[in-house]
Structure 1
Amino acid sequence: MHQTHSLVIGAASGMGRCIAERLSKAGRLTIADKNQATLKELAAEYMADAVYCDISDLESIKSLAAACIDIDNIVITAGVSPVMASVQQIIDVDFIGTAHCIDVFRELVRPGGAMVCISSIAGRKFTTNDPTVIQALEAPFSDQLITKLKDAGMDMTDRNVAYGIAKFGVIHLCRKAAKSWAEKQARINSISPGIIDTPMGNPELQQQTEVLRSLIDATPLQRMGSPDDIADCIEFLLSAKSAFITGTDILVDGGICSVA
């Protein structure tokens, strides 16, 4: 029986770091990130292989894949928020980068393996059945993607709009990819976190304090989520306990989407 090999893309901080620590105790681990200094430290701490990866660069993803040819589980937590990046960067990292990973690692995943992608409640709130938007998102590698989204009536000058579209796109990609992953005897799902206490989320909290505080107050569980809350769900989706779950998105939001 082979040793389980897991990969965490975006492992240097927050949710990625938390799940990387968990998975380091369950078998072989490869961690990937743009932050090479932190990556090196974590590799020593977790006894993991470390590979630089810029998820917005297809060649970088291919180089990572070349180092992970015997892979069981892939977790993609790499991403940028509206206060961190431009519209183009949000689309490139949060949506197109994830789409490339889904395609590249589908060809490598072992039977019984699984991928988990991180979406957001922003994607759930954006959810649309508009055929022109869906059509645009189903061609993630098109040079005309942003233009097509503009033509569909989306305000692609607004970073919050772009973020919602990108995260909805992740949910849609995972749903659509379930069939092709099943052909590899593997599964793919996404998670939509609510307001999580992470280094990436903190700048959002500082810059949109009033809005985010009101969301926390409205959350039925009356608190922010923690990276451990997300890691718990990811562990479940990678495990045999979720063997009949694929192509779906799970809310980990303290109940905010039930009331907001």
Structure 2
Amino acid sequence: MSNRLSGKVALITGGSSGIGRGIAKRFVAEGAQVAVIGRDERRLRELKNELGENLQTMQGDVTNHEKLKDMIEDAKNNFGFIDTLVCSAGIGYRLPLQKATLEEFDLTISVNVRSIFDLIRIAEKDLKSGNSSILLISSIAGHVTFTDHVIYSAAKAAVTKMTANFAIDLADKCIRVNAISPGFIETPIFDQRLKQDPDFFKKMGSLVPLKRMGVPEDIANAATFLCSDEASYITGVDLVVDGGYVHQGLLPMKKNQN
């Protein structure tokens, strides 16, 4: 690796699995010190054993305001400062409107939207002015319309819009705020689908112009760039990383139609 994040200290939520875990591994490989918040204690231990002293792990719920404050403070005390935030914690359901409940709506918004607002509101005062960045993980669900996805799509559309607002609100401190909207990524969220259909990833990949599912490393590559000094003049961007899915033509054309 090229040590593109050498000297940086990152706090990553949702880092025990999937995209957050992939970003944590890449950040450490690029020279950063990383604190990870996650819910799965076993996976956090495994990640700590793999990455060593440059990684701090904290088991906790990002929707718990007091616990979140304590974890942010622990990370700052452990490494001395924080200059990079990655908000990757999230949940999602495919639920028909008629079956979706207010409890599921509240939980999805709490984890995917409210926790981001709370984290940034708590942590921004401690971020290094002029050399810090915040990265939110949104989704292509905030850009295109899927059936039975109203709650998750609404939450991710909110994350995309929050990115632009936070970028302007924090610009006077020269704190950059960007987002990544992943497409279909091979993560443990699909484990149950894979058990039911071993060809699930192949079938999903066939829907993508680049003819494959993404992997966490694809998102980690983009995250590394956006959180590095190479992106020092980029803020308010929602970078779609989806193999071209959102840009493909969805209207069928007749053979001789121009």
**Once the 2 structures are TM-superposed, how far is the Cα of residue 76 of structure 1 from its aligned partner?**
1.5
What TM-score do the two structures reach when normalised by structure 1?
A: 0.79
Q: 1:73 to 1:208 in 2, by over 3 A?
A: farther
Correspondent of 1:78 among 70, 86, 89 = 89
Separation of aligned partners in 2, 1:171 and 1:33: 22
Q: Give the equivalent residue in structure 2 for 1:60.
A: 67
Partner amino acid for 1:54?
D
Separation of aligned partners in 2, 1:167 and 1:210: 27
Q: 1:41 to 1:213 in 2, by over 3 A?
A: closer
Q: How does 1:64-213 map to 2 (within 5 A)?
A: 64-69=71-76, 70-82=81-93, 86-111=104-129, 112-125=131-144, 160-203=149-192
Are 1:86 and 1:159, in contact at CA under 8 Å, matched by a contact in 2? no
Residue 24 of structure 1 aligns to a residue whose secondary structure is: helix
Correspondent of 1:13 among 11, 17, 20 = 17
Larger Rg: 2
Q: Give the equivalent residue in structure 2 for 1:31.
A: 36
Partner amino acid for 2:68?
I
Q: Note the residue ranges of structure 1 that are not aligned, 5 or more in a row.
A: 127-157
Are 2:135 and 2:178, in contact at CA under 8 Å, matched by a contact in 1? yes
Q: Note the residue ranges of structure 2 that are not aligned, 5 or more in a row.
A: 1-5, 96-102, 251-258
Separation of aligned partners in 1, 2:121 and 2:196: 35
Separation of aligned partners in 1, 2:222 and 2:207: 22
> Identity percentage over the alignment?
30
Are 1:175 and 1:247, in contact at CA under 8 Å, matched by a contact in 2? yes
What TM-score do the two structures reach when normalised by structure 2?
A: 0.79
What's the CA shift string for 1:131-172, capped at 9, x where partnerless?
xxxxxxxxxxxxxxxxxxxxxxxxxxx972010000000011
Are 1:190 and 1:249, in contact at CA under 8 Å, matched by a contact in 2? yes
Are 2:62 and 2:68, in contact at CA under 8 Å, matched by a contact in 1? yes
Separation of aligned partners in 1, 2:143 and 2:120: 20
Q: Give the equivalent residue in structure 2 for 1:242.
A: 231
**Once the 2 structures are TM-superposed, how far is the Cα of residue 68 of structure 1 from its aligned partner?**
3.0
Residue 6 of structure 1 aligns to a residue whose secondary structure is: strand
